[in-house]
Structure 1
Amino acid sequence: MSVIDEIGRSKHVSLETYRRDGTGVSTPVWHVVDGNQLYVVSEAKAWKVKRVRNTGRAKVTVCDIRGRIKPGAATAEGPARLLDETETAAARTMLARKYVMSRAGNWFARLLRLKRPPLIGIAVTL
């Protein structure tokens, strides 16, 4: 099994983005892989979005829900970019297909007419 397949089959990945000084900051996230692209959706004001905007690179590693990485876990590194509104909507749709809780959260937010912060997608080329 290739690294991309292993990352795609996992439930969570640790998305490591980099500060301007090169220090990495990891965050466990939901993800979906389409071809050689890994997609993540986050709040537009999140620090990981600002770090991607500044450095344009990221590293992903298979992890558990708490971000713990097992020795020998699949890892890939590549350029990262922020998505426009259309691409972000497509990424949200793909994530909703993979994660039931995402669908449930989106449904409840619409039902209760909750005001949600703006979202933006991140694509990492693996």
Structure 2
Amino acid sequence: MTAPFGQAGTAKYVQLTTFRNDGTPVATPLWAALDGDKLVMWTVTDSWKVKRIRRNPEVLVQACDARGKKAFGDIVKGTAEIQDAGGTERTRKAIAKKYGILGWITVKGSQLRRGDGGTIGLAITPRE
């Protein structure tokens, strides 16, 4: 069985594309980690991408560079789920584990600055 997320499952940065009301795609580079059969990401709770996902959970993911300018690998269609507090904490741990000390410092710094509710986890399930 091949990895459902291809290079996006192991890349340092992943471009998450969400869609506006009119269907315009909006791509954002994020850290991501595999958690079982899902690709998890972590972002600010009141970000526009979260608002777009609440309205339309269909997303695209693709490996990219840190700025999201150079994407590579296959584009994977998926469905995003906004995680609850337990899922968000699991995502924080997965990000900290994948990105090492820098990931841990970033997650903890964000928790100190924004509190536990200031960021939220996203879980992407690939579509067939």
Judge same fold: TM > 0.5, yes or no. yes
1:73 maps to a residue whose letter is G
Q: Give unmatched runs, 5+ long, in structure 1.
A: none
| Cα distance between partner residues in 2 of 1:106 and 1:44 | 14
- Say which is worse superposed, 35-44 or 1-10, in terms of deviation: 1-10
1:53 matched residue in structure 2: 54
Matched, 1:90 2:90: yes
Pairing of 1:104-115 with structure 2 (within 5 A): 104-107=105-108, 109=109, 114-115=112-113
Quick check: 1:120 aligned with 2:120? yes
In 2, the alpha carbon distance for the partners of 1:74 and 1:37 equals 16
- For the aligned residues, what is the CA RMSD? 2.0
Q: In the alignment, which residue of structure 2 is the partner of 1:65? A: 66
Secondary structure of 2:114's aligned partner: coil
Q: Which has the larger radius of gyration?
A: 1
Equivalents in 1 of 2:107, 2:92: separation in Å? 10
> Tell me, which stretches of 5 or more residues in structure 2 are unaligned?
none
Pairing 1:6-21 to 2, within 5 Å after superposition: 6-21=7-22
Q: Is the 8 A contact 1:80 1:122 kept in 2?
A: yes
Identity %, equivalent residues: 34
User: Could you tell me how far 1:115 is from its partner in structure 2?
Assistant: 3.0
User: Does structure 1 conserve the Cα–Cα contact (< 8 Å) formed by 2:63 and 2:73?
Assistant: yes
What TM-score does the superposition give when structure 1 sets the normalisation length? 0.86
CA distance in structure 2 between the partners assigned to 1:105 and 1:80 by the alignment: 23
Structure 1 or 2: more strand by fraction:
2
Equivalenced residues, count: 122
Cα deviation for residue 5 of structure 1 reads 4.2
1:102 has 2:103 as partner = yes
